Amino acid sequence: ARTLASSTRGKVVCVVQIVVLLVVLLPAVTPPASVWLAAFGLAALSYSFAVDTSWLWLHRRQEGVL
């Protein structure tokens, strides 16, 4: 199986996800702000997964994997 190289994008999304989850848990952050923050965190994470999955898909034949 092919492994992904570490990227700045992945690291940034990781930090964003952690910060968003911690902020959303604060009692002072109530809906709708908490909902929008959680949606932003999910969108960032989904984007990162989509980019990584796309890269793996495009480079699958180099390893002989179909």
What is the pLDDT confidence band of residue 66, given thresholds at 50, 70 and 90?
Answer: low
Would you state the pLDDT for residue 63? 59
DSSP-based three-state secondary structure for 6:
coil
What is the pLDDT confidence band of residue 61, given thresholds at 50, 70 and 90?
Answer: confident
Nearest CA to 47 out of 5, 4, 1, 14 is that of: 14
Q: Are 7 and 47 spatial neighbours (Cβ–Cβ below 8 Å)?
A: no
Q: What is the pLDDT of residues 19-58, one digit of tens each?
A: 999 999 999 999 999 999 999 999 999 999 999 999 998 8
pTM: 0.84
